[in-house]
Every structure is written in C-alpha cells, then in structure tokens.
Structure 1
Amino acid sequence: MTYDLLIETEAARLGALATDLSIPVPTCPGWTMADLVTHVGQTHRWAVHILRNQVQERIWSRQVPSGLAEGQSGDAAWLAAGVAELLDTLRATDPSMTVWTWGPDKQASWWPRRMVFELVVHRADAELALGVDPVVPADVAVDGVEEFLHNLPYAGWITPRLAELGVEGATIHLHATDADGEWTITQGPAGRISWERGHAKGASAVQGTAQDLLLLMYGRRSPEELTVYGDADLLGRWLTTAAF
C-alpha cells in the first residue's frame, strides 16, 4: 500500500471539507471543524519534527511548534502546508531509521501508516459532521483495522482503562463481509490485548463491511449498526473503552 499517496489524497479530501470551521463535530465531542483541522495539522508537524530531528525520546504533539499564534486555529491552507512538509519529509527519510514512536515499531516506517489512518478517521469525522456518509475502500479499511490492533497494546492511555473492565480472557471476533478480513481479539492481563487473523468463535462477534469495522473500532460506528452475535454488552463496553 502506497501510504504517501493515501496521505496526499486523504488530506486533500479533509481540506475540501474544512470550509465552515465553526461547524460542531459530533464524533469528537466539544470540537468544531477548526479544532479538528488544528489537531490533524499539529499531528503532521509532530511527525515531521520527530523524523527530521531523529527524535529518540518521547515527545508529544503539543510540544512541537505549530506555526500558529496563541489561541489561533488552523485552516485548510495551514493544513495543506503541513501535509506538503510531511510528504517531503516522509519521501526523504530512510524507513529503517530508528526514531521514537508510541507504538511497537521504533522505525520511521511506523509514521506513514499512522498518519494515513489519523487522516482517514478524521476525514470521516468531518464528513459525518456535514451529514455525508464516509467511504473507505475495503483494502484500506482492512489495513486500518490491523494498524489499530497492532498499536492498541502500546496505547498507554487506554490499557489502564481496559484493565478496569475486568474481562480478562474475553474474546471478540471481527468479520469483514466485503473483504478478506477476520480477526480475534483476546483481552489479556493488565489491560493488554493480543490478536490474530482468521476465523474463530468469540464470546462476542461482529460482522460488517471492512469500512464499518474500522469506524466501529474508532468509536465512529455503533455496534447496533452492524450484526452482533454473542455478548453484545461485552462488545459495547470493550469498544467504548478501547476507542482512540
């Protein structure tokens, strides 16, 4: 999958949606379109800073200069400038270079994939805010589900919440109806999960298009909109807790 081209496409789509920055974004409670654009553009600048400076220690996006005045929000032009800088940086960077990430892979190659799905999900947020039904190609959505599951065990702000659910050993099966995508998630100790591809029986199972499964994992779809088998309460509580 060519992540730089996906970044370019998704960023252009988001920028085209960001005309009225005052519109509320219901899937990001408390945010307007301006907040959404600012968040995405700041995330791009964060990635650029890490890659260009070969950062080895944890640094968060709020620690990186945004180029905005205090209290100012980003707009479509500011977003586009950040995307251009991100793409230049990604294309000039050795994917095997060691850098800090919050995920399991401590290489520059982790960042393009993460930036794609940051954009895909927030582009969907913008579309939903405007009453537009998002469309994510099935192959991209399958990769997005796997990227989510790949990183989830390392999301330190989520694992404590998962630990508090008290569902260690529970299994959740995801089944894409329009693509080659099946996964089983097992809730492990201390809030950490493990997962594997393939068909299996879970305590809870959910079927839907790959796109809907991706949006479900990120809390942008409700389980009630898909086909659920088994323990629906477990599925709902787990999804609410695990969503980024």
Structure 2
Amino acid sequence: MTLSPERATFYLDCLRADAARLAEVARLGLAAEVPPCPGWTVDSVVRHTAQVYLHKVEILRLGKRPEPWPPNLDDREPFALYDEAFATLLTALDKAGTSSETWTFSPWDSTSGFWYRRMALETAVHRVDAELAHDVATPVDRELALDGIDEVLTLMLGGPWWAEGDTSSPVDATVRVTADGHSWTIALNATSAEVTRDTDAEVAAEIYGDPTAVLLWLWGRVETSAVQTVGDDEAVKAFRSRVAECTT
C-alpha cells in the first residue's frame, strides 16, 4: 500500500508540529510526572520518544528490526538526544520515501509509508503526555485524531492477534466507537476482534465524543468521564481493558 504524496505531507506536517510542541512543553520541566502513566516523568517521555525515533531510523535503514535493541542512551542529555533523533528520523523518512519495502507490525502494509502515519500518531500521544504533566493539554489535529482512532481499532485491536485466546479480557460483546460522525463497530470474543463500519448492527454499548477525547481514551490518557457512553457499562470497561492489551 503506497501512501499518497498529499497524505505523506499531512503526516509530516503533524509530526513536525507535535514534535516541536513536545519539546516546547518539556522545557517547562523534565521532573513533572505524567498523570496517566505511573512512574513516567516528562524526562521519560522525551527519552522514550527519542528512542522510538531512532528505532524507526534503523528499521528504515535495515528493512527489519534492529538487534540488539535498545542502545544505552542514559548518559545523553535529553533535549540534545531528542533533537538529534527527530532530525535523523525526518532524514530517514525522506530517504525511504513512502513505498520502500520494510518491516512493520501491520499484516497489511509493509511499506515505509506506514511509519509516516505511525510516527505522527506516536508523537501526538506523547506530546499530550508532556502537556498533561504540566496541565497545558491542547487538542490533537481533528483529522489526525480520527486517523488515530482508526489505527487503534482496525490495526492494533482488529489485527490477527487474538487467535490463541490468551487475552485477559475475553469480552464477548459488540461495541461501537463514534467520533465526529465516523463510527467503528467492533464484535469481540476471546479469539477475535472484527472491526467494520456497520452502523446498523445492534451493540451492547457505544462510546462517543470529540475525536481527541476518544483517541486519548483509547490510549488510556483520559478517564471514561472524558467521553460519553451509552449501554452496558461492564461492556465498556471490558472493551477498554481489551484495548489496553494491544496499546501497551
């Protein structure tokens, strides 16, 4: 699957904006704790994001996952590390373009274009982490947030990961997620999560709200009170637990 030039530009624009915002907010203080991520500080966010960038640089260079990984970066000054990693990532994406064959964790897309999207969404969520630590949260770009909801549901939840039935949340229910007029219907059991755009199917519960709120709820960055729900509360809780298994 080849990413269009227009979509690649969109992802790069979002990536640059959120990366810059993350660095800006991080300079308010590295020691601040990230409320939804126990044990994490802003320093953790900066270092983790830099390491993610460098990991993708190596994937794009090698066409496969680097081994061994990660390198020891503990002695690096965090902002210098982050700035260097981000610049290197942009160079690697530009060099790879959008259609180079490479490793991804998607069963449907093994092109470098996959990482344009993934890095834009990774950065948006971690930008919010830094903002939450300093109580200065701002919305995710609406179009990017909707794309992020789709990524979580169709790839991370809806991928072929559950066949062994080893989930700790074997919810057996159909739920719907809706944001800004877009809906995803997810039929779950212990061994599958089938995602469609069917808006007519009967569901046990629906979760809906602003795209940013829904995206951040799926990623465990906000409480359920940040979105609206109707239907079976237990199905909502079980669904959230199932999503947590594939987003951590």
For 1:216, the equivalent position in structure 2 comes to 217
For 2:94, the equivalent position in structure 1 comes to 91
Q: 1:150-161 to 2 correspondence within 5 Å?
A: 150-152=154-156, 153-154=158-159
Q: Which amino acid aligns with 1:172?
A: V
Q: 1:46-125 to 2 correspondence within 5 Å?
A: 46-55=55-64, 58-59=65-66, 63-65=69-71, 68=73, 71-72=74-75, 75-104=78-107, 105-125=109-129
Q: Which amino acid aligns with 1:230?
A: G
* Structure 1 residue 150 displacement after superposition: 2.8
1:233 and 1:22, CA in 2 relative to 1: closer, same or farther beyond 3 A?
Answer: same
Match of 2:14 among 2, 6, 21: 6
CA distance in structure 1 between the aligned counterparts of 2:84 and 2:193, rounded to whole angstroms? 37
The worse-fitting range, judged by mean Cα deviation, of 3-12 and 193-202 is 193-202
* Structure 1 residue 199 displacement after superposition: 2.2
Can you list the C-alpha shifts for 1:172-206, whole angstroms capped at 9, x where unaligned?
Answer: 11111xx331111111442x312112524421101
Structure 1 spans left out of the alignment, 5+ residues: none
CA distance in structure 2 between the aligned counterparts of 1:160 and 1:22, rounded to whole angstroms? 41
For 2:140, the equivalent position in structure 1 comes to 136
1:133 and 1:204, CA in 2 relative to 1: closer, same or farther beyond 3 A?
Answer: same
Q: Which amino acid aligns with 1:10?
A: D
The worse-fitting range, judged by mean Cα deviation, of 76-85 and 39-48 is 76-85
Q: Quick one: percent identity of the two aligned structures?
A: 30
Residue aligned with 1:229, SS: strand
Structure 2 spans left out of the alignment, 5+ residues: 1-6
**What is the TM-score of this pair, normalised by structure 1?**
0.86
For 2:52, the equivalent position in structure 1 comes to 43
Can you list the C-alpha shifts for 1:142-191, whole angstroms capped at 9, x where unaligned?
Answer: 111011123214485x88787332323x1111111xx331111111442x
CA distance in structure 1 between the aligned counterparts of 2:190 and 2:165, rounded to whole angstroms? 12
* Structure 1 residue 38 displacement after superposition: 0.7
Q: Which amino acid aligns with 1:227?
A: Q
- RMSD after superposition: 2.3
Can you list the C-alpha shifts for 1:67-100, whole angstroms capped at 9, x where unaligned?
Answer: x2xx336522321211111111111114222211
Q: Which amino acid aligns with 2:188?
A: Q
For 2:24, the equivalent position in structure 1 comes to 16
For 2:194, the equivalent position in structure 1 comes to 194
1:198 and 1:212, CA in 2 relative to 1: closer, same or farther beyond 3 A?
Answer: farther
For 1:240, the equivalent position in structure 2 comes to 241
- Is 1:185 the equivalent of 2:191? no
Can you list the C-alpha shifts for 1:102-148, whole angstroms capped at 9, x where unaligned?
Answer: 22222211111111111111111111111123311221111110111
